[in-house]
């Protein structure tokens, strides 16, 4: 699947910011450069372990933030990312918004929740 970006707005106690975020179905959580989350007033909830594509393990802080995609809002978990790293929309965020990836059209599409 090719990569593409989608607009993501984050809202914290100190304001909001709209970003173009890379859609990354291989990432568990959304990730945004730490300085953006700090500027929005998002506080870390806990520290988690992340396995990188090269197999290396890193620890990162994760926080709860209100997010908006395509005029829908919900609360998501977001990793405090490296300052130079691009913002990412991961699988947890896609599921929270009930969105799926259309790899041909390179866009997000609404999907049904599963309760099997």
Which of the residue ranges 17-21, 52-56, 58-62 would you say has the lowest mean pLDDT? 52-56
Q: Tell me the two tokens of residue 64.
A: 């709860």
Overall number of domains in the chain: 1
Q: Residue 42 belongs to a domain with what CATH number?
A: 2.40.70.10
> pTM here?
0.92
The reply to whether 75 falls in a domain is: yes
Range 19-28 average pLDDT: 96
Question: Domain range spanning residue 70?
Answer: 6-110
61 is a domain residue: yes
Residue 115 located in a structural domain: no
In a domain? residue 48:
yes
Residue closest to 32 by CA, chosen among 71, 73, 76, 88: 88
Q: Strand 30-33 relative to strand 57-69: parallel, antiparallel, unpaired?
A: unpaired
Q: Is residue 47 part of a domain?
A: yes
- Is 116 part of any domain? no
Helix (H) or strand (E) run with residue 37 in it: helix 34-39
Per the prediction, the chain carries an average pLDDT of: 96
* Banded pLDDT at 2 (limits 50, 70, 90): low
Is the pLDDT at 43 greater than 90, yes or no? yes
Mean pLDDT of 62-89: 97
């Amino acid at each position: 699947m090719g990569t593409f970006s989608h607009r993501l707005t984050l809202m914290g106690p100190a304001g909001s910011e709209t970003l173009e975020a890379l859609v990354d179905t291989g990432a568990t959580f959304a990730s945004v450069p730490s300085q953006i989350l700090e500027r929005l007033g998002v506080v870390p909830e806990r520290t988690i372990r992340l396995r990188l594509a090269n197999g290396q393990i890193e620890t990162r802080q994760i926080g709860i933030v209100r997010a908006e995609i395509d005029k829908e809002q919900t609360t998501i978990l977001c990793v405090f990312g490296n300052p130079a790293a691009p913002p990412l929309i991961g699988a947890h965020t896609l599921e929270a918004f009930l969105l799926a990836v259309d790899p041909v059209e390179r866009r997000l599409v609404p999907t049904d929740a599963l309760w099997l």
